Each structure stands twice: as C-alpha cells, then as structure tokens.
Chain A
Amino acid sequence: MLLSLEQVTRLYGIVIGVNDVTLTLPEGAHGILGPNGAGKSTLLNLITGQLRPSKGKLTVLGHSPRDPALLRRLGYLPGSEGMYADVSAIEWVTYLTQLQGFRASDARQRACRAMERVQLADVQDRKISTFSRGMRQRTRLAQAIAHEPELLILDEAFSGLDPIARHTMTTLLQQWIAEGRSLLIASHVLHEIESLTRSFLLISGGRLLASGSTEEISRLLTSVPATVELTLNEPRKLAAQLVASGLIDSVRVEADRLHATTGSGRELAQFLAEQSVNGALEIFEVRSSDDSLQDVFHSLMKLHRGIA
C-alpha cells in the first residue's frame, strides 16, 4: 500500500487546507490534480511530514510521515525553488544525499549518477545561480532521485518550464515509472499528468472530489449536467428543436448564441452533428464546459454538494 488516509483534515486557524480526505492508493504512479489553492501542497506537506493532520490518520508506505525510516524511502521535489545560489549543483545534490544518510564518497557517486540522469553532468560544477529555470528544475529533481527512493513526490514539477524542458522532464519521469517505482505528482495542468499516469485524484477546496482513471472520471462526468455554448446562424430554430427532442434540461438564446445544459451529452453531440451534416444548421462554434479544468471541477463540486 502506497498511501492511506483516513478522514484527514488540516486546518490553518479557521482556514481549511485539507478537508476530511479518505483514500488509499496502491503502489504505482498517481496524479493529484486541482486548481490553484485546492490543497495539493497541503496534502503533500502532510504526506512528507512537514505538517501534522489536525484530525485523522495517514500512513505512507506503512510508516507515519515523520518516521525517519519513511524519509529514507521517499524523494521530494517541492513547489518552491529554495536552492543555494552560491554553491555548485553537484555540491548541493551531494550535500543533500549525505543528509539522506550516505557517506561522503558514496553520496558524491550517487549525486553524479543523478546529474547524469537529468542530463546535467557536463555543467554540474557550475554555480546554481548561473543555471536556467529548466536546469534548476532538473537539479531539484536530481536531489530527489539521487538516493533512489521508492516513492517520488513532485509538486508542480513542470512549473515554468519551456516545451523542450517539459518533454525532457516527462521522459525522465516515464523512465522512472518504467523502473517500477512509485510516483505522486501534483499539478493543476491535466495534460502534464496525463502523459505520466492514468490514475488521478481530483482535489478542490481541500476536498477529494474524485479518484480513479480518466475513463472512470469521464463516466462520472457524463452523468453531471454539462453546459454547451453554440454560435450558429439560427439559434432560436435550434432551441425549439432541442426542447422538442428532450435532450436538454434548459436553454437560453442571446443574439447568435445558444446556451444549453444537458445530462445527455453524447446524444446531444450526435443530434448536432446530424443537423449540421443535413445542412439544416450552420454551426460556427461549439464550446463545452468540460473544455476547461476549472469547469470540470465546478461540475464535480456541484455533484459533491448534491446540487447536480
């Protein structure tokens, strides 16, 4: 068992960081997805022992988060940079590997291997202050993997990276997973996580809204009424047709736009495609609420609160 949380809550005074989260995760790769301020970093701080839960219990790899035995098996890449600008990359990674519990020569070797792995071996003796953003991010990854942990935890690992650096990071992490190690990656960008794992935890407002694979979450979402916006030539005509068809829950027309909510997204899409092919309608634009992650969370929050 990778992770087990039982009614875990964390409060900052009267502000809720994480709210009554219960989950278990098997070993493997998992993504924690949520908008900014959702509670991802708080959850990771709880898992890595930086914070204690105000309520509830959690174990990581069978240990309490503050157990030194766990910290030996865990590698963490935090969201904030926080590196020493005046030391070289290899020196910094070696130092942290020594703190992990390795003797100096062993730590140095491991640090060098990690720097090779993140493709920074040829610049490892340069001061960190001379590194680009992507190079600093890879150095931070090196310190997290140098001691070859069983579980790697990443908080916004792709933040601020250009497309090439993102690709490099993705490749590294895919290799990591292929070696059979576990990964927990937190992000607010869906496609960053999708490239690494099909298992997600969706968090918003400190609550666990959904967990499972993308297919399971999609199935969940199709039962949640979605909002569709159409720009077309005859919105009123379509509105009448949709009402008659019974495929929508509500409809609203504004100028050349039509807004509809539906619980039968698939059927509606089929209907609109048929109308468009038949030439009965000229549809210029279709927007679905599921297009943005924010809307996904919004829908899930409605479901969670029992509104949808």
Chain B
Amino acid sequence: MNATLIERIVAVFQFEWRRALTWPRMTWMATLAFFPPALLLLMRWTAGSFEIPWQGAAIAIFALAPSIACIMAVFLWATPSISSELEGRSWVYLAVRPDGPVAVLLGKYLAAVTWALPVGLIASTLSTLVLVREQVLRMLVVQNSLAILSCIAYAAVFLLIGVIVPKRAMVVGIIYGILFEAAASTIPAAINLITIQHRLRCLLVRGLGFDESMAEDNVVFQAYFGQGSLLWHTGILLAMTLAFLVIAVAILRWREFTTASETDT
C-alpha cells in the first residue's frame, strides 16, 4: 500500500475519464466546441459588407469561446461532482477510503478541466480563424490562453458550489453565473475584482493591447481594463483557483454526508 495522494487523484481522474466516454457526453462537448465558430460564421454572413473591427471581433470571440463554451463545459462536469455520488448512493464507498473524498474531489476537478480544455481550445481557435484577418497568431495565443485559464478557474468555483450546496448545485451554479459573473463583473466597483470574468477581461485587453482611451467615457469599459499587469491578473486568477480548491477540500473534510443524503436535482 504505497500510492500517494497524487497517485490516487490520478486514479480517480482516469476512472472518471473512462466513464465519461459516452456518446451523449461527447455530443454535448462537440456542440459546445462548434457552437461559437458556427455562430460567428453566421454573423459574418449576415454582416454582409460591414467590416467587424478587430477589437470587436476579439470581444465576440472571448464572449463565446473562453467564456460561454468553457463555462458550460466545466459547469456540466464540475458542479455535480458530489451530488452525483450522493444521488447514486456511491459516496459512502469513496468516503471510507483514506483521504477518499479529497482524492475524488481533486480527481474530478482534473477530469472536468481536461474535458473542457479541448472544447475551449477548439472553440477559440476556430472562432479566431472565422472572424479575424489581422494579427491572427496573437489573437490565437491570447484567446487560447484565456480558454485555459477560464477552464481552470471556473471548474474550481463550480466545484466549490457543488460542495457547499450539493442538493441544488446546478441551480445555484446557474444563478452564480448569471448574477455574479455576468452581471456583477460589469459593475466598475470593488465587487468585480472578485469575479473571474473581470480578471479574464483584463487579461484580454492587456494581452491584445487594446486602446485604453476606449474606457475614458465608457463606464462599462472601465470595468474591463482595471489596474495591474498581465502577470498580476494571471497570478490573482490562479490564487483564486487555489483558494476555491482549498476551501472545497476543507469543507469536504468537515462536512458529513451519509447514505440518507439524496438530491432531487
């Protein structure tokens, strides 16, 4: 008996990956991956002679690929991590293993991220190729980097939501996404500093070298630019991710889940 915690996490990750190789799951992932480029292609076709400005294209690609596609992909995976085991009454088998709950949580987190990454990368790459004509390589690098960070960070926050409220994880996750990430992140105040969306937007404008004068008269754009460098925002995002994971693990160690726990959703 000599497997470390990391090896056990890897065992969970491999097991969950194998279980997830089903047609319905892969169909959903493909839908999420090709939805953004398909939509952008349609947008270009309906735009006719209208030239989509480069910065506008960047925002459209960011909104669809690293944001919507990645968020939905990790949401499907990460949010029901605990509730699926409780609902299926399989949690007890995992909980009586030494550090079983922690290994399961982090293994599922890894599985969620690695399943969502291809979705985000395909969506970002194809969307860029569809919509962008100049500085394509720069756009590809930035959008794909944002897709990676988005998957990593959002998987952590949805995992945490799933640990805190396993019974209503999906609904709370939706409300979090709409009220907090979509709405609060556009408010140019302290509240947006604690959203993942704000950090990603700041990385977008800094990474692509947006003209900061856009924010001078536009309150919404002020929220996009914020303060701090690329390294600063990336560091904050990774620190937030780590914090979410640590809190999730701590709650899991402290909470009691019994075979009587069952979700309705």
Chains A and B in contact, CB within 8 Å: yes
Contacts of A45 in B (CB 8 A): 258-259
Please report the C-alpha to C-alpha distance between residue A76 and residue B90 in the assembled complex, in whole angstroms. 12
| Partner-contacting stretch, out of B91-99, B163-171, B226-234 | B91-99
The 6 closest A-B pairs by CB, nearest first: A82-B89, A68-B98, A98-B11, A82-B90, A99-B97, A71-B98
Q: Is B19's CB under 8 angstroms from A69's CB? A: no
Query: A278 at the A/B interface (Cβ < 8 Å)?
Result: no
Query: A51 at the A/B interface (Cβ < 8 Å)?
Result: yes
A294 to chain B, nearest CB (A): 24
Query: B212 at the A/B interface (Cβ < 8 Å)?
Result: no
Contacts of B207 in A (CB 8 A): none
Please report the C-alpha to C-alpha distance between residue A84 and residue B104 in the assembled complex, in whole angstroms. 15
B56 to chain A, nearest CB (A): 45
Given contacts A71-B97, A100-B1, contact A51 B90 (CB under 8 A): no
- Residues of B1-41 whose CB lies within 8 A of A: 1-3, 7-8, 11-12, 15, 18-19, 22
B105 to chain A, nearest CB (A): 12
* Bitwise interface map of A from 236 to 279 toward B, beta carbon under 8 Å scored 1, else 0: 00000000000000000000000000000000000000000000
* Bitwise interface map of A from 86 to 113 toward B, beta carbon under 8 Å scored 1, else 0: 1100010001101111111001000000
Which residue of the partner chain A has the closest CB to B253?
A: A66
* Set B8, B12, B19, B92: member contacting A84, Cβ < 8 A: B19
Query: B235 at the A/B interface (Cβ < 8 Å)?
Result: no
B182 to chain A, nearest CB (A): 35
For this complex, into which size category does the number of interface residues on chain B fall? 20 to 34
For this complex, into which size category does the number of interface residues on chain A fall? 35 or more
* Bitwise interface map of A from 74 to 89 toward B, beta carbon under 8 Å scored 1, else 0: 1010111111101100
* Set B12, B22, B257: member contacting A99, Cβ < 8 A: B12
Q: Is A84's CB under 8 angstroms from B88's CB? A: yes
Contacts of A68 in B (CB 8 A): 98-99
Query: A199 at the A/B interface (Cβ < 8 Å)?
Result: no
Query: A166 at the A/B interface (Cβ < 8 Å)?
Result: no
Q: Is A78's CB under 8 angstroms from B98's CB? A: no
Query: A19 at the A/B interface (Cβ < 8 Å)?
Result: no
* Set B2, B92, B257: member contacting A78, Cβ < 8 A: B92
Which residue of the partner chain A has the closest CB to B12?
A: A99
- Residues of A34-77 whose CB lies within 8 A of B: 41, 45, 48-52, 68-69, 71-72, 74, 76
Total number of residue pairs linking A and B with CB closer than 8 Å: 91
Please report the C-alpha to C-alpha distance between residue A76 and residue B91 in the assembled complex, in whole angstroms. 12
Q: Is A104's CB under 8 angstroms from B1's CB? A: no
Query: B118 at the A/B interface (Cβ < 8 Å)?
Result: no
Query: A137 at the A/B interface (Cβ < 8 Å)?
Result: no
Query: A147 at the A/B interface (Cβ < 8 Å)?
Result: yes
Please report the C-alpha to C-alpha distance between residue A278 and residue B67 in the assembled complex, in whole angstroms. 94
Please report the C-alpha to C-alpha distance between residue A46 and residue B120 in the assembled complex, in whole angstroms. 44
Query: B256 at the A/B interface (Cβ < 8 Å)?
Result: yes
Please report the C-alpha to C-alpha distance between residue A82 and residue B92 in the assembled complex, in whole angstroms. 8
Please report the C-alpha to C-alpha distance between residue A79 and residue B93 in the assembled complex, in whole angstroms. 11
* Set B97, B98, B257: member contacting A50, Cβ < 8 A: B257
Query: A227 at the A/B interface (Cβ < 8 Å)?
Result: no
Contacts of A69 in B (CB 8 A): 98
Q: Is B98's CB under 8 angstroms from A82's CB? A: no
* Set B7, B91, B99, B257: member contacting A82, Cβ < 8 A: B91
Query: B103 at the A/B interface (Cβ < 8 Å)?
Result: yes
Q: Is B90's CB under 8 angstroms from A95's CB? A: no
Contacts of A101 in B (CB 8 A): 1-3, 8, 97-98
Please report the C-alpha to C-alpha distance between residue A78 and residue B259 in the assembled complex, in whole angstroms. 9
Given contacts A50-B92, A82-B89, contact A99 B103 (CB under 8 A): yes
Query: A299 at the A/B interface (Cβ < 8 Å)?
Result: no
Contacts of A100 in B (CB 8 A): 1, 97-98
Query: B188 at the A/B interface (Cβ < 8 Å)?
Result: no
Best-surrounded residue of A49, A51, A100 (most CB of chain B within 10 A): A100
Q: Is A52's CB under 8 angstroms from B256's CB? A: yes
Q: Is A99's CB under 8 angstroms from B256's CB? A: no
Could you name 6 residue pairs across A and B whose Cβ atoms are closer than 8 Å? A50-B96, A71-B100, A82-B90, A100-B97, A101-B3, A101-B97
Contacts of A86 in B (CB 8 A): 19, 22
